[in-house]
Amino acid sequence: MTDPDQLDLLSINTIRTLSIDAVQKARSGHPGTPMDAAPTVYCLWQRFLRYDPEDPNWPNRDRFVLSNGHASVMLYSLLYLCGVKASNPTYEQAGRLAVTLDDLKNFRQGNSRCPGHPEYGWTSGVEATTGPLGQGVATSVGMAIAERWVAATYNRPGYDLFSYNVYALCGDGCLMEGVSSEAASLAGHLKLSNLCWIYDDNHVTIEGATSLAFTEDVGSRFLSYGWNVTRVSDANDLAMLGRAYETFLNTHDRPTLIIVESHIGYGAPHKQDTAAAHGEPLGPEEVRLAKEFYGWNPDAEFYVPAGVQKNFQEQLGLRGAKTHALWNELFSAYRKKNPDLADQIDRMQRGELPEQWQNALPTFPADAKGLATRESSGKVLNAIAERVPWLLGGAADLAPSTKTHLSFDSAGEFQASGNDDYRGRNFHFGVREHAMCAIANGLALSKLRPFASSFLIFTDYCRGAVRLSALMKLPVVYVWTHDSVSLGEDGPTHQPIEHLASLRAMPGMIVIRPADANEVVEAWRAILQIKDRPVSLVLTRQALPTLDRTKYRAASGVSKGAYVLIDAPDARPDALLMATGSEVSLCVAAHEQLASEGIKTRVISIPSWELFESQSLEYRNSVLPPEVTARVVVEEASTFGWERYIGVQGTMIGIHSFGLSAPIEVVQRHFGFTSEHVVSAARQQVTRQGGRS
C-alpha cells in the first residue's frame, strides 16, 4: 500500500472512529452507517466535491445532502476534519469552526452543534434538515432544479456563474419512502443531470434485514424513471467509487443513481449486518473490537492522527479555495458587464426584493358579486412575479384550479425540452404533493422564492415537507385553495375540516385566510416581506364580495393579523363578531341586521392568528376589548383553538363533523353558515351576558 493509500485509509478510519466514539459517549445514535459509508463520502469530498470550507455558503458550491440523517455523526466528523467554518451569526466567535472536537464529544447533548439529526441553520455546512427518511433526497431535487434555473437565467457566454452539482446520500429507508419515488420520477422527467443520489445499499433497517419488506430491483426502478444507474460492488474500493463519480460527471442528459453495496457496521465483527449496529451504540467491547480491526488504539477516544486534517486541507480545502477564488473573479467581471443581473443575484442571496416591487400590487373595486380569493390571488401573484424574477413555482397538477399559473409573456414553463426551457418559472409537479413541497424547500434553500399549491385538503399528503419548511424557517409560500365545506359537491373527502387548526398548531407556520380581494392583496404584501417563516395562504373556490373600503376599514389591517373592519358608532360594541375568510361577509350582513335591532356590534376580520399574536398587547386589546365578553366567532372549520378569542362564554359557529356532498347553499344551511344564524347567536350572547360587562 502506497503512502497516499495509507493516508486515505487513515482518514477514512478517523471518520469511523470519531463517529463510533461520539455515539458511544452519547449512549445514543447510529454508528453503523458512518462505519460502512465513510469511504463513500471520503472519496466524494476529497476528490470531487467543489466546496470551500472557509465559506460554506458560497453560491456555486456543490451541495451534499445527508438524506439518511440518522448518520449525522458522520457528517459532523467530516465538517470537523475538513475545517468548515461557522457562518451562522449566532455562533459565539468569528472564525469558529462549524463543528469542534468538543461538539463531537457532546453529540446529541444540549447546545452542541451536533444534534441527533442534521439541522439547517444550527450547524454550518448542513445543507438541509432532512429528518424523516426520504426528505433529503426529495429536497435535493429542488436544489438541482434551482441550479438549472439560475444557470439558464443568469449565465452568459463566457460567464458560467452557476454550474454546481447536488449529491445526496441515502439508504434503504429513504428509497422505501414514497416521497423519494415521487421526487425521483420528476427528476428523471426533467433530466436533471446535475443530480446524483448515492444509495448506501447495506440491506439493513431497524427491524432487521431489508428482505423482510424490500425485495424490489431498485436499479431497474430508477432506469424506468429515466436515470443513469451505476454500481459499486465494494464500498471500500476508492478507485471503483471514483469511477462511479466520474460516470456521473460525464452524464449530461439524466440524473445518476450510484448503488454502493456495503455492509453496515463494517469493522464490528460481532454486530456486522445487524440492526443493532444501525440503531444503537456498539457497546464498549464492540468499540474495542472495531478499533482493533482498523488498527487503532482501542483505548484512544476521539483520536485524530497527525496528518489527517492536513490531508483534508490539501485536497478538499485547496481545491475549494482555488475554485471559489476563480468564481469571485468571474463574478466581479460579470458584475461590471451585467450590473442589473448581478444586483438580482445579490438580492436573492440576501433575501431582499427588487425596489418598488409593491407598485405592482393592484387594488380591487367594491363589488357585491366579487371574486373567489383564489382568483384575486392569481391576479396578484402574476403582478408581483413580473416584478420579482426569482418568484416561481407551481401546483401538484392543479394550477388551473388554484390559479397559480404565471401567465405573463416571459414566465415560461420549466421543462427539459431545450430552447432555454430551464428558464421557465412555471413548474409542473404532477400529482405529487409531498415531493412538490420538499422540492419547494430545496428551491428556498437555494435562495429562490418558491410557491407551491394544492387544495387545502391535500396538506395531509404534504405535511412532512411542510413541517420541515417551518423547522428550517424557509420562506416558502404555500397556496392552499378550496378551503372549506363551501366547495360543495365534492363532499367530505375533499372538504377540509381540521386542516386550519393543524397548520395553526405548527410552530413557525403563518396561516393567512383573507376575506376578500383586497385582503388578498395585503396578504401577498405581507408574505413577500417575510424572510424566515413559511406562509400558508388559504383561499376560497367560491366568489366573495369585494368589500367597499370607503365604507369599511382599509384592508391594510391584514398585516397585523386582525383588525376592526366595522365598529359600533360609539366604538362601544355590545358584542364582537369575529371571522376569517369567506365568513367575514356573513358577519358584515349580521352587523347591519343587528344594528337595525339596536344591538351594536364590532366586526373583526382575523385573517392570521400568528400575525395578530405578534402584535403588542395594547393593539390586541384595542381590537378585542377584554371588557366585551359577548363574542361570536364564525369559521367553516373545526372550532379547535378559538377558545383563546371567545373565552369560555362565547359562541363558536364551526364544524364538529366531516362535510357533506351537496350544492354550496345546501351545505352552508346544513352547517349553519348563514347571516341569520350569526344574528341569532349574537342576540343570545348579548342577552346571556347583558351586553357590556
Would residue 433 show up in a list of annotated catalytic residues for this protein?
Answer: yes
Bridge pairing between strands 367-372 and 543-546 = antiparallel
Which residue in 242, 148, 131 sits closest to 195, CA to CA?
Answer: 148
- Contact (CB, 8 A) for 532 and 475: yes
Task: Kindly state the DSSP code that residue 487 receives in the 8-state scheme.
Answer: G
Give pairs for 227-231: CB < 8 Å, separation 24+. 227/184, 227/187, 227/188, 227/254, 227/255, 227/256, 227/257, 228/254, 228/255, 228/256, 228/257, 229/256, 229/257, 229/259, 230/256, 230/257, 230/258, 230/259, 231/258, 231/259, 231/260, 231/261
Contacts for 369 with CB less than 8 Å, ≥ 6 apart:
543, 545
What ranges in 548-639 are assigned the alpha helix state H?
Answer: 584-596, 609-613, 617-623
C-alpha cell at 297: 488504539
User: Within a 10 A sphere around the Cβ of 27, how many other Cβ atoms?
Assistant: 10
Number of residues that make up the chain: 693
User: Within a 10 A sphere around the Cβ of 172, how many other Cβ atoms?
Assistant: 22
- Contact (CB, 8 A) for 546 and 367: yes
Bridge pairing between strands 543-546 and 510-512 = unpaired
What ranges in 294-446 are assigned the alpha helix state H?
Answer: 308-312, 318-337, 339-350, 373-385, 399-402, 433-445
Partnered with residue 436 across adjacent β-strands are none
**Amino acid code (one letter) for 225:** Y
User: Within a 10 A sphere around the Cβ of 307, how many other Cβ atoms?
Assistant: 13
Q: Which among 127, 147, 433, 522 is annotated as catalytic?
A: 433
User: Within a 10 A sphere around the Cβ of 269, how many other Cβ atoms?
Assistant: 12
- CA 115, CA 79: separation in Å to the nearest integer? 14
- CA 505, CA 512: separation in Å to the nearest integer? 13
- List, by residue number, the catalytic residues: 433
